[in-house]
Each structure stands twice: as structure tokens, then as C-alpha cells.
Amino acid sequence: MSSAAATVNNRGTASLMDHRALRPVMGKGGFILGKNVRMSKKLSYEHLALIGPTGSGKSSTFFIPNLLELDEEVSAVVTDPKGELYWKTGPELRRRGFDTIRLSPFENHFPGYNPLSVAKDYAEIKEIAQLILMNGGLAFEIQGKSGGDSTWLNMSLPLLVAAFLYVKYRNPECPRIGDAMDIILFMDMEEMEALFNDYKLARREYALFKQAAGSDKILASIKVTIATNMQLFMDDRVVHFAQRNDIQPKHLRYGLNNDNKKPVVLFVSVPETKSLYAAPLMAVLYQQLLQRLQDITDGFPVLFFLDEFANLGIIPIIDTVAATARSRRMGLALGIQGIEQLSQKYGEDKAANLLNNLKTKIFLSGLSQVSCEYASWFCGTSTIKIETISTAFLAMIPDKKTITSAERDAVTSDEVRRLDPRKALVISDYLNAATVDKIFYYEDDKYTKRVREGDPDFSTEFEDLRVLYGISEDEKFDADPFN
């Protein structure tokens, strides 16, 4: 083969196709990408990223259709900041045989999640403390404040771990983060030492802390650091939420009755305005769900629909889960506003590793320059023919036609930005990029007749929830005591 021929063969062969290009990943039971395009359940375990700015229709064209068509042998975890997804799809999911639970730590809803109860050993207790301090500090940093530098956070960690270990030791079934906070805030060093002396692991952590602290003056500063980064757990609503034990990760695999009969859809509602404030709790919640569900390999598969993923706090294991969850029958659908969100949150390397393990990427119109360039690069290059005609000055000499080839982006970044708002650009694994028609649920009778209309009003469910979860009258409190 000549070098010239080799050069031609090495030119770009990518092209932009329609939805038929996605047939190799299509099947039953998996993520719905658009009209007439549904992934197989197995390939959904290779995960996807849904990338679109605010207002691009992620909820109405992806999350709601997917929930309404959720496979009846699959459990799901859904981020639902406004409660809209639960309100619209909950009745239909229950009609189809799912159990639905809505966790909402800032509202008068009583199902709770106890991170310390879920933790099964010392390492996981320590991990909870690390996540809370790390995400609490990050929340302050983003607001231009300080939750303490790394030195103070590192000095605070053993004390917080000791308090968590102690309350877990005293009440394994229902340890309370609020009790741990009371120990730290209201006891002096001698009182804490006497308390922790009852339990070996707590005593050891306190000894590490004492070596670093050394005096009551430093203890006071460490207390301030912990209180600052854990202010979320001074909110009575959150304390109440985190001390109840109504939902466990295993319920997603085995059902609420642990009988493998009814899959569970778990909705987690934290308003966008409180996402930074709630990050310490949300990071722990999602980290534990991902960890525990990886440990439990039988039961129902679990799909995660995590819109506004960048607002959930830092989840250190997310890239590892994306790389390994396929064999555990877990699929992630992460909704983000732009590629740069992940880089800002996790750093360039971790963000790149995560994105590499989200095998399918859906791009919506109106993206940032960074995201448009990323999508364009992923679409690859194509070869185009260029025809040049040279006209001679003398009429006796015929025009000369020359055909050459050149490479160009299969889809330019500007074409990504100006994508038809009714279409989505899908890039899946090794396949050519394809455009698919979005599903606007509110335009399709197939969906509109199955959603609950109106604005969310959960007050009608309060009494049923109280009966279901055995809440006594003295546990009632106002949803927001400041209003």
C-alpha cells in the first residue's frame, strides 16, 4: 500500500446519524434516551451523563418519562429537589406495584435515614465523620467563608469519630448524631475522657485527639471548627431526620418487607437553595447507598437518577462505583449543567475518570463553550471533499477541476450549541454520534394521563406517613419554625 493511500484511509470517518445508529445499545428495561430509543437494562449499567443547562428540559424530557416507564423489576434512587418528580410520578409508580418513599429532611415528612445506624464498622464511622467535615468545609469555602483550615479539620476528626463511635456503642440500632454533638459541645476534656473510657475504639480516638489538642484552649477552637462544619446537625428537623431509621439501603434490593416482592423508588428532596447547607448529609447518604448496594449483589437491580449531581456534595467513591457497578447491576444517570461543573467539584483527573466511565452521554442545546467543545471532540472527525475549479484566461483551454479531501469536526462546537431544542445529541460508547427526538411528556397522551397534575401539596399525605412509620404525637413539629 502506498503512503498516499494510507493517508487517505486514516482520515476521519465519523458522521452524525439519526437514532438508528444507536440500535446496538437498544433493548428493554433500561434508560430511555428519546423517542423510540431505549437502552437495554444490561447496557444501562454502563451509566450515562445527561448534560444540559437549567431550563433545557432534563426533568420533562428525561427523568419523568424514565420514571413513568421504569421497569417493574428495578428499584431506583431519584434526586428530586422540588418534590416535583415524586408528586407527578408517585401515584403511577404505586399503581404499577412500586413502593415509593420520599426523604425530605427540611419538611414535615417523617421517614428518616440514620447514617450511623447504616455504618457497619469503625472504618465507615470514620468515613462519615470525614465526609461531614469535608463537605461542611467546602460549603463554607464556596460561600467565601471559612470552616477552618485543613490543620483544624484534621485535629477535629478524632474527636468527632470518638463521639460517633460512643453513641453507636451505646445504642447500635439507633445512634444519634445529635447526641454526639451534645457530647462535643457541652462536655470538657475530663468529662469526655471519662465517658469515652467505657469503649475501647472511642477511647483510642480520643487519645489521638488529646495528643493534638493538649489544652482546653485548643479544645475550644476545635469545638468551634466542628460546630461550624456541622451546623446542619443543629437544625432540629435534620436531627430528627437523622435519628430515625425508616429506610435502609438493603430495602432497594429486597423491598421494604425484605421479601423481594415490591421494588422501591426512593426520592430525596433538598431544595436547591439549601443544597450547600445540606451537602454534608447528602454526601453521606449517597456514599452509603452506593457502597452498600455494591456489597449486596442479589435482589432488584438499582438505577440512580441523580439530577443536579454537582449539588449533592463530594462523593469520593463515585468514579470507582462508575467503574465497577456494572457487575452489581447498578446504573447511574447523572444530570449536570456542564462538564466544567464536575471539574470544579472533583478536580480535572477525577472528573475525567468519572466521565470516561459514563459510556453514554446526552447533550442538550444551549450548553457552555467548554461542554460544546467536549461534545464536538467526542463526535470525532469526518472527511469532506473539496471541489476546486480553475478557469483559464483563454477560452481554448478548458476549466480544470480538482477534488481534494480535508478533515473537519463531524459536529462543530457551534453546531452543538445551536442544537434543535427538540432534539438531543447522543454519543454512546464506540458508536457514531446520533440525534434523537426528545420526549416532552406534557405533549404526549401516553404520559399526561398518568401524571398527577397541579403543584406539589404533601400535606394530604402527612397522616398516612405518621401511621406508616409509627410517629407519635409528641414528635410533631412545624416544618419550618422560622416561618
Looking at residues 151-156, what average pLDDT do you find? 86
Segment 41-91, tens digit of pLDDT: 999 999 999 999 998 999 999 999 999 999 999 999 999 999 999 999 999
User: Do residues 360 and 426 touch, judged by C-beta distance below 8 A?
Assistant: yes
pLDDT at residue 71, as a whole number: 98
User: Do residues 363 and 339 touch, judged by C-beta distance below 8 A?
Assistant: no
What are the sequence ranges of the domains in the chain?
A: 9-113+292-384+410-464, 115-238
User: Do residues 25 and 331 touch, judged by C-beta distance below 8 A?
Assistant: no
pLDDT at residue 150, as a whole number: 76
What CA–CA distance (Å, rounded) separates 423 from 443?
A: 15
pLDDT for 367 beyond 80 = yes
- Domain 9-113+292-384+410-464 -> CATH class: alpha beta
pLDDT at residue 385, as a whole number: 62
CA nearest neighbour of 192 among 208, 203, 200:
203
pLDDT classification of 482: cutoffs 50, 70, 90: very low
Q: What average pLDDT does the chain have?
A: 88
Place of cell 437544625: 235
Looking at residues 237-265, what average pLDDT do you find? 94
pLDDT at residue 481, as a whole number: 40
pLDDT at residue 14, as a whole number: 72
- State which H helix or E strand residue 265 sits in: strand 264-268
Task: Identify the residue with better confidence: 116 or 394.
Answer: 116
Task: Identify the residue with better confidence: 382 or 5.
Answer: 382
pLDDT at residue 22, as a whole number: 95
User: Do residues 64 and 451 touch, judged by C-beta distance below 8 A?
Assistant: yes
pLDDT for 258 beyond 50 = yes
Looking at residues 332-353, what average pLDDT do you find? 95
pLDDT for 134 beyond 50 = yes
Segment 387-444, tens digit of pLDDT: 666 665 555 666 667 766 667 778 999 999 999 999 999 999 999 999 999 999 999 9
Place of cell 484552649: 217
Non-local (6+) Cβ contacts of 131 within 8 A are 280, 283, 284, 287, 313, 314, 316
Place of cell 471532540: 377
Report the predicted TM-score, pTM, of the whole model to 2 decimal places: 0.89
In the chain, the amino acid numbered 110 is F
Task: Find the range with the poorest average confidence among 15-19, 63-67, 365-369.
Answer: 15-19
Looking at residues 342-363, what average pLDDT do you find? 95
